[in-house]
Structure 1
Amino acid sequence: MNKVMVVEDEDILREVIMDYLIEDGYQVLEAADGEKALELFQSNSVDLVILDIVLPKVDGWSVCRRIRKNSSVPIIILTARSDEDDSLLGYELGADDYLIKPYSPRVLMAKVKRFLEKHADTMDGMLLSSGGVVINMGARLVTVESNTINLTHTEFEILAYLMQNEGIVITREQLISKIWGYDFYGDEKTVNSHIRNLRAKLGSKGSRIVTVIRSGYKFAKE
């Protein structure tokens, strides 16, 4: 049973999210502030985090940043603001997706299901390898020149998709459809932000992800 942590300071909203998750068969942990969220995360094996941004004690940005130091668990951010800078900051800190309040709980559940099903469907034992970049799909580990790098859930999915199609141009629309699905709220700038973060983490191999003007991206063959 997948374990989901809900971090939301509004009691009624947190309870509604929890009811939907329990109804869909998930085990749920709850936190009403950022400090409690970090304590729960450190003491439990969590498969996904639903994280409000405006929280008492420790804000959601800080919680996201601290979780990302040691974990690639999927993080869905909840925000009351539609400001583009907020969503991009979330992605830069390692969030995988976001929803703007008010939102449909069923849309949130669809996102949760999509992230967790992708994780479960990973091909155990399959290795993708190209020029010093190696992905262990089953373990969800990425190494560059034998050094392990820490990717978010979404960064991992993007890299795997590009490497599975090495040398082939993948459009931004294809990436959005494959990684986020039909209910994606962002735009091409979101893809660009994840690609930028991914290149930085790949270091000297980041240049393997090539931008094809007015088309998309490809993982270039060496």
Structure 2
Amino acid sequence: MKGNIVYKILIVEDSSSIRDELVVLLENNLYEVVAVTDFANILKKVEEVSPDLILLDIILPNINGIDICREIRQKNDTPIIFVTSKATTESELNAILIGGDDYITKPYNAAVLLARITSVLKRYGKGKNNTSYICKGCKLNLLDSTISYNGQSTELTKNELRICYNLFSKCGQIVPREYIIEDLWDNEMFIDDNTLSVNITRIRGKLKDIGVEDLIKTKRGIGYKI
């Protein structure tokens, strides 16, 4: 969501269980979602829906997702992320060469998929642009690098702000340690695994100072969750 704009994602996935799972995941993250169920008229559906992004499987009934992507690219540059069980280098290379923007293999990690969606939307100038996030009574303000709770506020360092952004923007989800580290690295602030733990401890200390305890939960061997 950017301002009052809700971004629309079209799901082209023939497995009803995975399709339903994706719908719930995306709607819970404030996206408008349309799922294709008639695979004989996918291109027509794309034109009708005019989505901001498409999640596209490769193996579909009587048609190949690669061919669909190729035909879409003849008409527009709608972002396309392949979400498929075809975990081969050749398949991934073909998908990217014919115009795919990203390639994720099943079973996918929900947090990673959401991060990839955000990244692709940003690349096309359609990314989420919230300046604050509220989770479990705490407010993270990106503009002044603070967390506030019940009228009290504490300032965050640049690294602490980025870590909190990853957690608050995915409130209720487990965020992998590797994802947070990679995000900081991409922002030219590379940290190792131990440094992340130190930063989390400092954030918890600052939260305690404003009356908040046990907000950030550690999921051993996986990551963190608010």
**What TM-score bracket applies, with the shorter chain setting the length?**
0.5 to 0.7
Question: Across the two proteins, how many residue pairs are aligned to each other?
Answer: 126
1:133-167 per-residue CA deviation (whole Å, 9 max, x = no partner) reads xxxxxxxxxxxxxxxxxxxxxxxxxxxxxxxxxxx
Q: Which amino acid letter does the alignment assign opposite residue 104 of structure 1?
A: N
Q: Which amino acid letter does the alignment assign opposite residue 18 of structure 1?
A: V
What's 1:59 paired with?
64
For residues 85 and 118 of structure 1, the distance between their equivalents in structure 2, rounded to whole angstroms, comes to: 25
For residues 64 and 35 of structure 1, the distance between their equivalents in structure 2, rounded to whole angstroms, comes to: 15
For residues 83 and 121 of structure 1, the distance between their equivalents in structure 2, rounded to whole angstroms, comes to: 30
What is the deviation of 1:33?
Answer: 5.2
What is the deviation of 1:109?
Answer: 1.1
For residues 64 and 121 of structure 1, the distance between their equivalents in structure 2, rounded to whole angstroms, comes to: 20
What is the deviation of 1:3?
Answer: 0.7
What's 1:15 paired with?
20
For residues 12 and 43 of structure 2, the distance between their equivalents in structure 1, rounded to whole angstroms, comes to: 10
Q: Which amino acid letter does the alignment assign opposite residue 98 of structure 1?
A: Y
Equivalent residue for 2:29, pick from 20, 24, 42? 24
Q: Which amino acid letter does the alignment assign opposite residue 83 of structure 1?
A: T
C-alpha RMSD of the superposition? 2.3
Distance 1:92 1:33, change over 3 A: farther
Distance 1:108 1:69, change over 3 A: same
Where is the helix percentage greater, Structure 1 or Structure 2? 1
For residues 126 and 36 of structure 2, the distance between their equivalents in structure 1, rounded to whole angstroms, comes to: 29
For residues 121 and 24 of structure 1, the distance between their equivalents in structure 2, rounded to whole angstroms, comes to: 15
What's 1:6 paired with?
11
Unaligned runs of 5+ in 2: 1-5, 128-181, 188-226
CA contact (8 A) 1:33 1:55 kept: no
Q: TM-score, normalised by structure 1?
A: 0.52
State the 4+ residue runs in structure 1 displaced beyond 6 angstroms.
none
Report SS of the residue matched to 2:54. Answer: strand
For residues 69 and 84 of structure 1, the distance between their equivalents in structure 2, rounded to whole angstroms, comes to: 24
For residues 100 and 119 of structure 1, the distance between their equivalents in structure 2, rounded to whole angstroms, comes to: 22
CA contact (8 A) 2:79 2:124 kept: no
CA contact (8 A) 1:8 1:14 kept: yes
For residues 112 and 41 of structure 2, the distance between their equivalents in structure 1, rounded to whole angstroms, comes to: 26
CA contact (8 A) 2:101 2:120 kept: no
Unaligned runs of 5+ in 1: 123-176, 183-222
CA contact (8 A) 2:8 2:34 kept: yes
What is the deviation of 1:121?
Answer: 6.3
Equivalent residue for 1:117, pick from 117, 122, 125? 122
Distance 1:121 1:90, change over 3 A: closer
Distance 1:77 1:121, change over 3 A: closer
What is the deviation of 1:81?
Answer: 2.1
CA contact (8 A) 1:81 1:100 kept: yes
